[in-house]
Amino acid sequence: MSSPQFIRPGCRLFDGFRGPAGRPTLCEKPVASSGAEGAALLRRLVWSEVPVQIGYQRRYDAGVAAAKAAVDAGELGRITTVRSTTLDPEPPSAEYIASSGGMYQDCGVHDFDIVRWITGQEAVEVYATGSNGGADFFREYGDVDTSAAIITFAGGALGVVSNTRYNGRGYDVRLEVHGSRDSVAAGIDDGWPIRSTEPGATHPAGPPHRFFMDRFQSAFRAEFETFLEVAAGKRPSPCTVADAAETDWIAEACALSATEHRPVLLEEVRSPHRRR
Closest CA to 173 of 108, 243, 86: 86
Q: What is the pLDDT of residues 185-234, one digit of tens each?
A: 999 999 999 999 999 999 999 899 998 888 999 999 999 999 999 999 99
Q: Is the dihedral of CA 157, 158, 163, 168 positive or negative?
A: negative
Q: Is the pTM of this model over 0.85?
A: yes
The span from the CA of 256 to the CA of 238, in Å, is: 29
Q: Which neighbouring-strand residues pair with 162?
A: 85, 148
Task: Calculate ∠ Cα 45-46-51, nearest 5°.
Answer: 60
- 21 pLDDT exceeds 60? no
Phi, psi for 216 (deg, rounded to 5): -125, 20
- 132 pLDDT exceeds 80? yes
Return all residues near 51 (Cβ < 8 A) that are at least 6 apart.
24, 25, 230, 231, 233, 236, 237
Amino acid at the residue 62? A
Closest CA to 41 of 235, 273, 248: 248
* Residue 17's pLDDT band (cuts 50, 70, 90): very low
- Can you state the percent helix, strand and coil of the chain, rounding each to 5? 40, 20, 40
- 263 pLDDT exceeds 60? yes
For 28, the 3-state DSSP assignment is strand
Element holding 68 (H helix, E strand) = helix 62-72
Q: What is the pLDDT of residues 41-99, one digit of tens each?
A: 888 887 788 888 999 999 999 999 999 999 999 999 999 999 999 999 999 999 999 99
The span from the CA of 163 to the CA of 47, in Å, is: 37
The span from the CA of 17 to the CA of 25, in Å, is: 10
Q: What is the pLDDT of residues 148-175, one digit of tens each?
A: 999 999 999 999 999 999 999 999 999 9
- 34 pLDDT exceeds 80? no
* Residue 127's pLDDT band (cuts 50, 70, 90): very high
Closest CA to 238 of 19, 26, 2: 26
Element holding 63 (H helix, E strand) = helix 62-72
The beta strand positions in 68-191, using DSSP E, are 79-87, 123-131, 146-153, 158-164, 172-179, 183-186
- 248 pLDDT exceeds 80? yes
